[in-house]
Amino acid sequence: MTPAEQSRRSAEICRLAPVIPVLVIDDLAHARPLAEALVEGGLPVLEVTLRTPVALDVIREMAAVEGGVVGAGTLLTPADVQAAVAAGAKFGVSPGATDRLLDACEAAALPLLPGAATATEVMALLERGYTTMKFFPAESSGGAPAVKAIGAPIPQVSFCPTGGVSLANAGDYLGLSNVHCVGGSWVAPKALMQKSDWKAITELAREAAALPRASVR
């Protein structure tokens, strides 16, 4: 899969909902009911971060939930890419981008949201053929004003800002013409997962799914 093809597919995935839940899951038993709650609430795209021992098993469980599009976050190495694909991930997300990681995703035909936070990083990915990226860490890298500023000289690139994004500031990003969606963890708080309060999570998902967004190219 070429970078251009990856970016087209990543853009299609990002357009499915205004928010991609960023999920850090420690208990495998939470995987299926959490995915079902989020999908029911209108957030079908789910990013499972590879930060816990059960993350790959969580991807396997969530991949079986009807209507869900499950991806693997925190991809750092080619081995991560191979493991994510084997677990059933339909897309990948990385905090940054290296040639080895990009090569691995292209070889595996895994659509990737590569991370970038500066104009130079964005230009390097654009030069390779990527036009859909993760802007990370969003808030500490300048927030929505930084995303807007990068869009002025590089309008052909669109982003999924992640990192410090919440219900309170998501609208600042979603109102930009170069933002497809945002990534955030607020829709699946650990306290609600620990209580198995899936109805409350569905309501948080509905609230997030209703967020308005600008019409992205």
Q: Which two tokens stand for residue 128?
A: 């390779």
Q: Spot the catalytic one: 12, 40, 47, 195.
A: 47
In angstroms, how far is CA 168 from the centroid of its own chain?
Answer: 18
121 counts as catalytic: no
Starting at the earlier edge strand, list the strands of the sheet with 19-23: 112-113, 91-93, 69-73, 45-49, 19-23, 182-184
Q: Spot the catalytic one: 61, 90, 106, 134.
A: 134
47 counts as catalytic: yes
Q: What's the CA gap between 194 and 81, in Å, rounded?
A: 29
CA 140-143-144 angle, to 5 degrees, is: 175
In the chain, the amino acid numbered 9 is R
Q: Which of 206, 204, 202, 154 is nearest to 177 (CA)?
A: 154
Catalytic residues: 47, 134
